[in-house]
Structure 1
Amino acid sequence: MTGMTAAVWTGAGLRRGVALLLRFGWIEAKSCGFAIAVFTCLALTSIVPLPLPRYDALLICMITVTAVLWRIGWETGREVGVIAGFHLVGLALELFKVQAGSWSYPEEALTKIAGVPLYSGFMYAAVGSYICQAWRRLDLRVTRYRPVALTVLAVAVYANFFTHHFLPDVRWILAALLLVTLRRTWVHFTVDDARLRMPLALAFVLTGFFLWLAENVATFLGAWTYPDQEHVWTFVHASKFGSWSLLVTLSFVLVASVKATEGRLYGDRPRPSVSRSSG
């Protein structure tokens, strides 16, 4: 009898876990609305004949997507401001990396500056949009967060993407310092009526992995080209997974600075109730 009861509880727990995982995946997919729109634009412009250069068409598409998502209330005005900030941070990195030969945008366009099409910043903006959306939809809170230390390290990580071209690459040192800084930092989130948590460092690693997968899709659709993809498309090197996991720390810090002013950063403070229909 005891064994049967344990089996029932185990089965119920498993079903509950699968249900929460599926629900979590659905919320994550909805949080990627801006990114999905970006990939849709990339796919359509790669197969549909256009009356103007593709990069220019992509810029128009992504400005339109941003305006529509704001108009229908998918993104708040503050979140659009965050997206604009990500766009500028991304463009700065793009301008440097293209000049350094790390990757290229081979197609012609009117809206290119120093070899970088202006639409490229929206791909970084998609990351910012995802974090904002996930924060709101999952009611994220962070405990034992060290804002000064993490901000300094995040800025150092971003700077290293520039300086490693002419100074020693210190990304592994920075990664170790991040792990030490975040060793007791947890991110709490709500899925239906369950309040869950995971280490913030693990959240960075998981986000970096999915960004690496997205990068493979983006390069396949011709968003940009790495030197080893000039003649035939190949998978993006696995080292980029680590690069994204590091770079997402800056993304998190930028959004967290906004959430702190909203009073939605510190502490595990779930809402009194979570409606299934609102997620």
Structure 2
Amino acid sequence: MTLFAGLAASTLVDLPIPRYDALLLYGLLVSLLFWLTGLETTGEIAVIGVFHLIGLAFELVKVHLGSWAYPEPALTKLGGVPLYSGFLYAAVGSYVCWGWRLFDLRVSNYRPLAIGLVSAGIYANFITHHWLPDLRWLLAAALLVVTWGAHVHFTVGGHRYRMPLALSFVLIGFFLWVAENVATYFGAWRYPYQLEVWRLVHPSKFGAWALLVSVSFVLVAGWKSRHGQLRPTTVDAPKMDRRDPLPQT
């Protein structure tokens, strides 16, 4: 939300420097503020930094291939990609990290190697499909297979819930698609069909985000596993809509 607030504000005020450059400074300052105030730990900042680099690499390829564009001028552009764009992916990583901590997330029946391999394939396919057959539907099916039986456990209102891991990807993907519509409306970037006039982002991007979320989840889950914060430590709700009170301590 902080990033989108900055995007919106940047369209309403006169800036002394190019807008994309201002957004880069804004992203850096927000990250520093979150770290200094303890809203994000040093480890989380490091993970988010990895997201920034992965996202920037993705942007360099996709912009070069004409998938979308950043039409405004900026001093901090590399290959037509403003460096602030990495924060758009870092925001997803930040969201997952925050959600993990705030809702005490745990994952049961998680298969790190299988899910990691499929997620790597998903990331690669979004680049290679420009030259090779698009395997996203096959990879989506593979993701369903490797996440079958895996559940995310979380706390809301003093009760533990769980939902299928694959469903969590779909839900997060939908909200990211909504966020992408907001971002393109405020000119964060433009798809070719939005250059003349803003239009709704194509619904197919919803599915793309649902798949890409798996990459974010795998990275954060790997880091959480190293800190013993991946596997459930209690018996959680057997159904998604079942509520069990948390044990008193």
> Which of 222, 227, 240 in structure 1 is aligned with 2:205?
240
Return the offset for 1:272.
5.1
- Cα distance change, pair 214–199 in 1 and its aligned pair in 2 (3 A): same
Q: 1:204 aligned to 2:169?
A: yes
- Check whether the contact 1:193–1:273 (CA below 8 A) recurs between aligned residues: no
Find the residue that maps to 1:66 and give its secondary structure: helix
RMSD over aligned CA atoms reads 1.2
Provide the residue aligned with 1:108 in structure 2: 73
1:208-223 correspondence to structure 2 within 5 Å: 208-223=173-188
In structure 2, what is the equivalent of residue 27 of structure 1? Answer: none
Closer, same or farther in 2 for the Cα pair 1:239/1:268, shift >3 Å?
farther
| Secondary structure class of the residue paired with 2:197 | coil
Shift of 1:192: 2.3
Alignment-mate amino acid for residue 197 of structure 2: V
Structure 2 equivalent of residue 253 of structure 1: 218
**Separation in 2 of the partners of 1:57 and 1:193?**
41
Percent identity between the aligned chains?
A: 58
What residue is the counterpart of 1:159 in the other structure? Answer: 124
Tell me, yes or no, if structure 1 residue 93 matches structure 2 residue 58.
yes
Provide the TM-score with structure 1 as the length reference.
0.84
Q: TM-score, normalised by structure 2?
A: 0.94
Deviates most, 180-189 or 203-212: 180-189
CA distance in 1 between counterparts of 2:119 and 2:145 reads 14
CA distance in 2, matches of 1:78, 1:259: 10
Matched, 1:70 2:35: yes
* Residue 182 of structure 1: how far off its partner (Å): 1.0
Which residue is 2:152 aligned to?
Answer: 187
Question: Across the two proteins, how many residue pairs are aligned to each other?
Answer: 239
CA distance in 1, matches of 2:6, 2:15: 12
**In 1, distance between residues paired with 2:20 and 2:160?**
43
Counting only pairs closer than 5 Å after superposition, residues 14-163 of structure 1 correspond to structure 2 as 36-163=1-128
Which structure has the highest helix share of the two?
1
**Is the contact between residue 140 and residue 190 of structure 1 (CA under 8 Å) also seen in structure 2?**
yes
Deviation at 1:53, TM superposition (A): 0.4
The alignment partner of 2:38 has SS state of coil
1:264 maps to a residue whose letter is Q
Which has the greater radius of gyration? Answer: 1
Partner secondary structure for residue 47 of structure 1: coil
State the secondary structure of the residue aligned to 2:11. helix
Q: 1:224 aligns with which of 179, 183, 189?
A: 189
AA partner of residue 74 (structure 1):
L
- Tell me the amino acid that sits aligned with residue 215 of structure 1: E
Q: Deviations over 1:37-62 (max 9, x none)?
A: 11111011111001110000000011
How far residue 183 of structure 1 moved from its aligned partner, in angstroms, is 1.3
Rounded to whole Å, the distance in 1 between the matches of 2:25 and 2:209 is 27
Q: How far apart, in 1, do the equivalents of 2:202 and 2:158 lie? A: 39
246, 263, 266: which one aligns with 2:228? 263
Q: Which residue in the other structure is 1:277 paired with?
A: none
* Contact 1:208/1:248 (8 A) holds in 2: yes
Letter in 2 for 1:196: Y
Q: Which residue of 1 aligns with 2:139?
A: 174
Shift of 1:267: 2.3
Q: CA deviation at 1:268?
A: 4.5
